[in-house]
Amino acid sequence: MRRKIGAEYNSKDKTTFTVWAPLKNKVEVIFKDRPSVALTKDRLGYWEKEVSGIPEGSYYKFRLDEKEDFPDPASRYQPLGVHSWSSILNQNLFSWNDNSWKGIPLAQMIIYELHIGTFTSEGTFEAVIGKLDHLLDLGINCIEILPISQFPGDRNWGYDGVYPFAAQESYGGPEGLKKMIDACHQKGVAVILDAVYNHMGPEGNYLSQFGPYFTDKYQTPWGAALNFDDKYSDAVRNFFLENARMWLEEFHFDGLRLDAIHEIIDRGAKHLLKELSQEVDELQEKTGKQYVLIAESDLNDTKIINSYEKGGFGLEGQWVDDFHHSLHTVLTGENEGYYEDYGKMEQLAKAFKQAFVYDGQYSRFRKRTVGNSPAGLEFSKFVVSIQNHDQIGNRLLGERLPKLVSFEGLKLAAGVLLTSPFVPMLFMGEEFAEENPFQYFISHGDPDLVKAVQQGRKREFEYFNSQTKGDFSDPQARETFNDSKLNWGFKEEPGKNALFEYYKYLISLKKDGAFNSFRNEIIKTEVKEKKTIQVLSGADKKLIALFNFSNKNEEVLLPEVTKGWELILASADKKWNGTYDFPSDFKGGEKINLPAHSLIICKTRI
């Protein structure tokens, strides 16, 4: 049974204030322009009171033990920033127009990851609406937005959020967010939120003032872990489970991408993620709407996505870093840091076939055995990408793939992504070879914290010797943020426009089921002379994909089939700004020329 928290506006200027502060002797809600009101404590440490005569939009804080005043940890709106007053929000005011929307299954999603602040020049929720036609033209049916919980200032990736219930004011606040989601649903686009349940940001984080939200039993990269299994943990679990419910139910999100779940440490009888998954199942049954939960995890542990019956958490899907790393290293030749575990063509072939490269192998970088076997799991459980915010933004210079590989290499990478049997995710601008970097940026108000972040970023690159030779972009500088915004003038550049059309065609093929035999039938992956990968579906040879990662053209022998092969796609074709003309079909057993850094996809003639 969930316990509602925060300021719940009921009706006729009545608001119920609820806050958890189990170790306090007195808690009051204070207002800017009226007397304070003492709250009443229950046996679980929740303080609550319904207060009349408080109009929506009123500012309030909580006063603890007649000493200090703090914003509401479950504030729905922080219009004045992370250190200032919370504001009462009437969630019932917005008129939704998406009543017929029922969501999209993960297996059918073409996901597009974007950062609200840099996706458009305006950097707001409502500005995203103006780009929906572009996304629809591309074939996108789901956007995944980086975290939007209120953070300090107006520039941040979102992982420094400190008010998990409050949509970032500089993006347009809760009203702008609802408008964006409503518009997306009316155009058939699902919306997933990147939710951070493994830590809180460092500035404006007052949770510890209220109660034991953290535990010293475990440490994370951000300090003490959130308290999900120690004394008083029931209320901490409630806090985050209520947060998930709010985003899905009150804001109509279609799902959550759960950040770095390997840092959500819970050794209780029922892991927080399993409890979350079960509660989302109940919400789905209640609303009749499809919801998805996608985990970010570097564990390669199928427990996350296995069913409850198999002892799993029951999440719909998870990100797979192995797919990105194995492709990135083969394309770029990079082998520093965690990339030292990759770089072999056989690993890329394995990733294409089963997502996990490390399914029980020893990792040189981690110096331990990693992963277990994904055998028997549906391919749609795995979300893969060739670019994302982490793999770009966590480079010293924030370079995107177009700065690292050739134009033909970009098309080859896109082909591997979109022909794979997994759920594809693009990163904003990938479809038109965006060259502006996506760098790490912040706008903290504490000079000491800014200095600590700058030094911390430097230390993060100690495993990447070649990257430390570049100029370090100051995360606090506004220019770092501005330089990371997308350049939407791609239509004026033939190469970029050709890449957009290429992505569009590949996505249409995937959505129409052209590559389904890679998903539904046994796949044979074969590496030829450590340069090319041949992927063949099933014993009946319905579909073949040939990938050449060599710097020179290669002759490849097509398998024998009775009626020959029909060409579906050749990435080096002039149609896609390449330099070759290809016939529409090939004979079975024919030797064909596979250009350098290109792919060819064929299906058997019927």
On whether 259 is known to bind a ligand per the annotation, the reply is: yes
Strand partners, 107: none
At 78 the three-state DSSP class reads coil
For residues 527 and 539, what is the distance between their CA atoms, to the nearest angstrom? 18
Cβ neighbourhood burial of 552 (10 Å; 0-12, 13-18, 19+): exposed
- Residue pointed to by tokens 């004011």: 169
On whether 324 is known to bind a ligand per the annotation, the reply is: yes
As a three-state string, the secondary structure of 316-384 is: CEEECHHHHHHHHHHHHCCCCHHHHHCCCHHHHHHHHHHCCCCCCEEECCCCEEECCCCCCCCHHHEEE
On whether the CB atoms of residues 438 and 389 are closer than 8 A, the answer is yes
On whether 92 is known to bind a ligand per the annotation, the reply is: no
Number of H helices, E strands in the chain: 15, 31
On whether 392 is known to bind a ligand per the annotation, the reply is: yes
For residues 48 and 43, what is the distance between their CA atoms, to the nearest angstrom? 12
On whether 323 is known to bind a ligand per the annotation, the reply is: yes
Amino acid at site 591: K
Stretch (H or E) spanning 116: helix 116-119
On whether 110 is known to bind a ligand per the annotation, the reply is: no
Residues whose CB falls within 8 Å of the CB of residue 390, separated by 6 or more in sequence, listed in order: none
On whether 290 is known to bind a ligand per the annotation, the reply is: no
On whether 321 is known to bind a ligand per the annotation, the reply is: yes
On whether 42 is known to bind a ligand per the annotation, the reply is: no
What b/e sequence results for 480-515 when a residue is b if at least 16 CB atoms lie within 10 Å of its CB, and e otherwise?
A: bbebbbbeeebeeeeebebbbbbbebbbebbeeebb
On whether 262 is known to bind a ligand per the annotation, the reply is: yes
Q: Which of 8, 182, 296, 316 is catalytic?
A: 296
On whether 93 is known to bind a ligand per the annotation, the reply is: no
On whether 325 is known to bind a ligand per the annotation, the reply is: yes
On whether 476 is known to bind a ligand per the annotation, the reply is: no
Q: Which of 113, 254, 259, 431 is catalytic?
A: 259
On whether the CB atoms of residues 427 and 119 are closer than 8 A, the answer is no
On whether 252 is known to bind a ligand per the annotation, the reply is: no
259 in active site:
yes
On whether 257 is known to bind a ligand per the annotation, the reply is: yes
296 in active site:
yes
On whether 260 is known to bind a ligand per the annotation, the reply is: yes
Residues forming the active site: 259, 296
Residues at the binding site are 257-262, 321-325, 389-394
Residues at the binding site for substrate are 257-262, 321-325, 389-394
